[in-house]
Structures are given as structure tokens and as C-alpha cells.
Structure 1
């Protein structure tokens, strides 16, 4: 899920949209072929799950900003290297607000998180 074109105009560009995860870079939290819902925004808290564009390539990763100001995109699967953001042209396109795996839904809430805060609040709806 590294490249695609956002299409539409007006309000449609500000509405949540779904994408299917392709690959194991974000496992185990986001397994291959699960569906994520993305809320368009240009900012996120540290440790938030983001859809971002770096030097023209789009990535689904975890955004991390440490206390020294170092920013990077991190794959949850340790087999993949971090993407160091300092000195690169990059932007957040949206944050992941929901994950769906075979009708098991998990929500991610960034509303109470400052832009340099900790991980998002997660609500697991699968047992309800």
C-alpha cells in the first residue's frame, strides 16, 4: 500500500476512506490483507499510525517523534528499517482510525493525544 492516487474534490477529500493492507510490514497489529480506515489529516501524535507521503512515495507506518525532535516512520515488523524523516520532504495524509480483520473491528482514537504524545487509545469491539 505504498502508492495510490487520491481522487475526488471538495468534501470527499475530507471524508474517511478504506484501504487494504498489502504486505507484512505492520504485523502483528495490522496483518496482510486487513482493511484500515483512514481519517484525512495533516498531523498526528507520536506513536500514531499514519498514512504518509515521503519524497513522493506513500507509506503506512507508525510515526515516532522522540524527545530530541528526531522523526521517523517505523514498521511494526522488525524486518523492515525505519524511515528517517529529518531532512526529507514528507507529509501526513491521514491517521488510521479503524482496523478490520474478518469482521473484528478495532478503533484508534487520537482526539485526546497531543501532537507529541504517546500511543493512541485503542478500543477493541470484537468482544461486544
Structure 2
């Protein structure tokens, strides 16, 4: 029995976790999974970790999110400072970027599955 009906293939285009979005046939509010590429979200998220994204989940300062920024999708931690939204990498070798607004937030990471044992996971919301 297949648990995942479809998935989005992720390619590393530049530094970080940028990827091309390919429609999967899922409804806009259905959760989906992506595999982390790159090191911009280390040490919490390592290359090869699988993240579960909930498009309809509520976000808050400190949430891990997928956002549409500069014509591409990106995985970062959301920081809200004085009503300004920032995409913040966890790895200090990368820089934070200001997000245009909350409408650019496309989903909240709710779970991480690490390689190895299928029970090796962590919840975030």
C-alpha cells in the first residue's frame, strides 16, 4: 500500500533549498513532503531529511516555512520583527532576507523524518 500518492522532485538550483514547483494534483490544502537539500537549515535540518508541509497551517514567529520569494520557493525559519517578515536560515553562513508579506508563505513544516528508522521523526507544530 502506497502512503504517498505523488511527490515533488526537488533539485538544488543555487545555494540553499530552492526548487522548481511541479504540480502534483494535490489539492491546495493537502499536506505534501519535500526532501531537504543543501546546508542552509543545519543543524536542525540536514540534507536528506524529509519534511512534511501543511499548506493551511497557522504560522507564527519561529515557524519553519516554505515561501515563494524572488520567483522561487524557499525553505527557511520565519522571523516576525515589528510587523516585518524575514526568511532566516539556521546556518550562519547564509543571510536572512525580508519577505514581502504573509501571502508569500505557502506552508508550514509540521514534521521532519530523518533517514533510517521510520519512527525517527520530530514534530514541529
Contact 2:85–2:102, Cα closer than 8 Å, also in 1: no
Structure 1's 54 and 65: CA in aligned 2 closer, same or farther, altered over 3 A?
A: same
SS of match in other structure, 1:13: coil
Cα separation, 1, equivalents of 2:76 and 2:83 = 18
Name whichever structure is richer in strand by fraction. Answer: 1
Name stretches of at least 5 consecutive residues in structure 2 with no aligned partner.
1-16
5+ residue gaps, structure 1, are 110-128
TM-score by length of 1: 0.73
How many pairs align?
106
RMSD over equivalenced CA pairs, Å: 2.1
Does residue 72 in structure 1 map to residue 86 in structure 2? Answer: yes
Q: What is the CA distance between 1:4 and its match in structure 2? A: 2.2
Cα distance in structure 1, aligned partners of 2:28 and 2:78: 22
Normalised by the length of structure 2, the TM-score is 0.75
d(CA) in 2 for partners of 1:92, 1:43: 10
* Structure with higher RCO (Cα < 8 A, 6+ apart): 1
2:65 counterpart (29, 37, 50): 50
Aligned structure 1 segments of 4 or more residues deviating by more than 3 angstroms:
none
